[in-house]
Structure 1
Amino acid sequence: MATYALPRALAALALAGSVATATVAPAAAAPRVAPRHADHSATQQALDAITDGGTPGALARADRAGEVWHGTSGVADLRTGRPRLPHDRFRIGSLTKPFIATVVLQLAAEPRYGLSIDDTVEGWLPGLVRGNDNDGRRITLRQLLQHTSGLYDYIRDEGFRARFTGKAFFTHRYDGAAPEELVRIGLAHKPEFAPGEGWSYSNTNYILAGMVIEKATGNSYASEVERRIIRPLGLRGTTVPGTSSSVPGPHGRHYSKLYVADPAARIHDATDFNPSVSGASGEMISTSRDLNVFIRALLRGELLPPAQQKQMFTGRDLGDGRSYGLGIRSQTLKACGVKVWGHSSDITGSLTRTAATADGRHVMTINRNGDWGDQALEQSAIEAEFCG
């Protein structure tokens, strides 16, 4: 693959074993820590609002103009009371998608693979996407990456949810699923619209994108993500776990109400499960530091040549100041008009959001170790950080 030199400041961020922070990691007896820098006081208050709302713990990291700020609130473990720590690992769910989209675009930039994002799915995975008015001959790779394929999201399938949510989670948490199985679940439904004629977020798209990576390279998408992104950027806390059910340490526990609608539903420790049910659409594990390094490198053009960079960040207008590019979304913040790029995620036991200015100079990742509650609180934290 083509290589792109990391600028000195980025390389230092990627390779440093530790970075001076604006706060000191909290002691076990004091899970809520106020920031020392007033610039981030509103962001800290937004974190506290998340835990005040019932989430066990929240953490954030912001990188801006050479300053690194960590904020934490609440606990990582309800049993021991251990606080959340800046270097905790957590499941990042759909923040896997920018990694996958980046690899597909890198392959498109390398002539030896003969891949274009305007190729059809049929051309790479012949005969796979057929039935119920689904037709891979009419769907392009670009449409997969931008969620304009019309393919039904397998996660919404009632049979899938019956296995992996509610009480059934405890019976099936280690089952996992092959990508072909997940695609079949999606294809059991008619498409939401004809390819290119609408926008609908669908995890089925990225399961297929992962399969295309494997067909083009002869390697697993995990190995390509590791070779092309994780190792070059020094993302030591980032893994593509495959069928491994555990989260490498250090990590907090991941708590879930198992998507039961009742606000009074019991909270369960759902840290361990086989993430292959999310596959290339959302199986990865990372840290706030690593996500900031990755998104910053992506925005600065360190991972893609100019043509593919332009394609990735050409967004489909979703209204209300929002757009979706190829595996990455943008939003113009109403409080101040700043445009940020990033992604959000929701996976069992973990909610994460990463946002950054277009030049990559200001980037923040926020994570909560619970999958319920008002997700507008993450938006409040983003507004506080970038508009405060």
Structure 2
Amino acid sequence: MPSLRTLLAVPVSLTLLALAQAATTKLPTSAPAPAAASPSPAPSTDTLLRLLTTQGHAPAAALLTREEPNTGTEPAPVTTHYAQAGQGIARADHFRAGSITKTFIATVVLQLAAEHRLSLDDTVDQHLPGLVRGAGNDGRTMTLRALLTHTSGLYDFTVDTKGVVPLSPLQAVRIALTHPPTDLGRYHYSNTDYVLLGMVIRQVTGRSYATEAERRIIAPLGLTGTSFPGSRTSLPSPHGRAYAADGTDVTELDPRVAGAAGELVSTLADLDRFYAALLGGELLPPRRLREMLDTRTAHGLYGMGLFPQKLSCGITVWGHNGRITGSYVRTAATVDGRRVLTFRVNTTAIADPDLEPALLAAEFCPRTS
């Protein structure tokens, strides 16, 4: 005897069969199958650049790419692409590069290590005896490697100064030393680390970090638009205007608000050239470049003056960003330095944080047709 479940299933099955037959008669046998929706094309770098001025609320934005094709043993011509959006930015403009300064400082320190004039395992106290003491901070146990990788635990002095108070290096360090260390041995980004490295460079060489960077990097690479302005508040010509988040004109700025952590002035072309040369092996021996790219000390987050970013397509690019009042800059490159992108806006920050990774992906991720 059929079960109750079977009896109930019969009319349901008949109903479904009838609906299926009705549906079949409504469509002619010759009707084409609906076309699959094609995915919308990924936005280009130029499109995303324009969004920096609309969604990102920047007065103006610009980018410059540099690519050296890998054609084997024969040198290939370098190709570039420039784009700008909004008003007030030009290709040759000088601008404040903020924390991109850190890549220059780290390069000088690693060059000195390659020359055996210091070791990355030296303690801070070996070069600046007695300076780092207070609130639990101790330069006798803090290494140069910890400064380079932001694992020293030192407090970031710019949290107190908001990045607008000009200071001597010693004043900046003393502010940091009024605070206890944060996450000793863990990655904790601190501008104080690189102010101290600038002081170490002077102690080891007898010359300022600016002088050493100029003779070791800027002059050899022909970076004619790059400089360390010291206390000079004006930008070299040509330049546009720079604006704070509230629209205030902050083109005139004392670079001592950042010092060795963010003093640099540069151009789009110079930053592309610098990162191409650095990652291409022109500035450091292979062993030291590998150390620079080694992120294990900082738990995968930072190397030495460089950090990796894994893009949505799985490709990892290397570089740094720079933020200082009135200017935000980002440079990223392939690990061999053959392809580089630098973009900038003439304000302190980008309102939409998703635009930066999207812009990098548009440049470095393979396009599918």
TM range (shorter): 0.7 to 0.9
Cα separation, 2, equivalents of 1:303 and 1:52: 38
Residue 279 of structure 2 is matched in structure 1 by 299
Cα separation, 2, equivalents of 1:249 and 1:374: 30
The 5-angstrom pairing of residues 308-323 of structure 1 reads 308-316=288-296, 323=301
With structure 1 as the length reference, what TM-score do the two structures score?
0.79
Cα separation, 2, equivalents of 1:227 and 1:353: 24
CA displacement at 1:375 relative to structure 2 = 3.3
Residue 16 of structure 2 is matched in structure 1 by none
Does the aligned pair in 1 maintain the 2:150–2:298 contact within 8 Å?
A: no
Cα separation, 2, equivalents of 1:357 and 1:256: 31
CA displacement at 1:40 relative to structure 2 = 11
Which amino acid in the other structure matches residue 74 of structure 1?
G
Residue 265 of structure 2 is matched in structure 1 by 285
The 5-angstrom pairing of residues 60-79 of structure 1 reads 60-64=63-67, 65=69, 66-76=78-88
Residue 211 of structure 2 is matched in structure 1 by 223
CA displacement at 1:116 relative to structure 2 = 0.3
Residue 91 of structure 1 is matched in structure 2 by 96
The verdict on how the C-alpha distance between 1:68 and 1:206 changes in structure 2, with shifts beyond 3 A counting, is same
Cα separation, 1, equivalents of 2:243 and 2:353: 15
Which amino acid in the other structure matches residue 42 of structure 1?
S
Residue 239 of structure 2 is matched in structure 1 by 251
- Please point out which of 304, 324, 340 is paired with 1:347: 324
CA displacement at 1:193 relative to structure 2 = 2.3
CA displacement at 1:317 relative to structure 2 = 7.6
Residue 360 of structure 2 is matched in structure 1 by 382
Question: Deviation digits for residues 241-271 of structure 1, max 9, x if unmatched?
Answer: 11000111111111102xxxxxxxx310001
CA displacement at 1:350 relative to structure 2 = 0.5
Which amino acid in the other structure matches residue 187 of structure 1?
L
CA displacement at 1:316 relative to structure 2 = 3.3
Q: Which runs of 5+ in 1 are unaligned?
A: 1-38, 77-83, 165-171, 258-265
Does the aligned pair in 2 maintain the 1:247–1:272 contact within 8 Å?
A: yes
CA displacement at 1:180 relative to structure 2 = 0.1
Residue 157 of structure 2 is matched in structure 1 by 154
Is 1:141 aligned to residue 144 of structure 2?
Answer: yes
Cα separation, 2, equivalents of 1:40 and 1:312: 33
Does the aligned pair in 1 maintain the 2:311–2:357 contact within 8 Å?
A: no
Segment drifting more, 61-70 vs 127-136: 61-70
Q: Say which one has the larger Rg.
A: 2
CA displacement at 1:345 relative to structure 2 = 1.4
Residue 50 of structure 2 is matched in structure 1 by 48
Secondary structure of the corresponding residue to residue 301 of structure 2: strand
CA displacement at 1:374 relative to structure 2 = 2.1
What RMSD, in angstroms, separates the aligned Cα atoms of the two structures?
1.7
CA displacement at 1:145 relative to structure 2 = 0.5
Cα separation, 2, equivalents of 1:317 and 1:369: 34
Secondary structure of the corresponding residue to residue 319 of structure 2: strand
Residue 9 of structure 1 is matched in structure 2 by none
Matched residues, percent identical?
A: 50
Which amino acid in the other structure matches residue 79 of structure 2?
E
Which amino acid in the other structure matches residue 201 of structure 1?
Y
Cα separation, 2, equivalents of 1:338 and 1:251: 34
Residue 324 of structure 1 is matched in structure 2 by 302
- Please point out which of 75, 98, 106 is paired with 1:101: 106
Which amino acid in the other structure matches residue 134 of structure 1?
N
Residue 255 of structure 2 is matched in structure 1 by 275
Question: Deviation digits for residues 66-99 of structure 1, max 9, x if unmatched?
Answer: 32100100011xxxxxxx2111111000000000
Which amino acid in the other structure matches residue 367 of structure 1?
R
Cα separation, 2, equivalents of 1:317 and 1:353: 23
With structure 2 as the length reference, what TM-score do the two structures score?
0.82
Secondary structure of the corresponding residue to residue 215 of structure 1: helix
The 5-angstrom pairing of residues 168-207 of structure 1 reads 176-194=166-184, 196=185, 198-207=186-195
Residue 12 of structure 1 is matched in structure 2 by none
Secondary structure of the corresponding residue to residue 63 of structure 1: strand
Residue 261 of structure 1 is matched in structure 2 by none
Does the aligned pair in 1 maintain the 2:243–2:249 contact within 8 Å?
A: yes
Cα separation, 2, equivalents of 1:179 and 1:318: 24
Cα separation, 1, equivalents of 2:337 and 2:343: 16
Segment drifting more, 375-384 vs 274-283: 375-384
Secondary structure of the corresponding residue to residue 147 of structure 1: coil
CA displacement at 1:331 relative to structure 2 = 1.2
The verdict on how the C-alpha distance between 1:227 and 1:239 changes in structure 2, with shifts beyond 3 A counting, is same
CA displacement at 1:323 relative to structure 2 = 2.8
Residue 10 of structure 2 is matched in structure 1 by none
State the aligned residue count: 315
Does the aligned pair in 1 maintain the 2:328–2:345 contact within 8 Å?
A: yes
Which amino acid in the other structure matches residue 178 of structure 1?
S
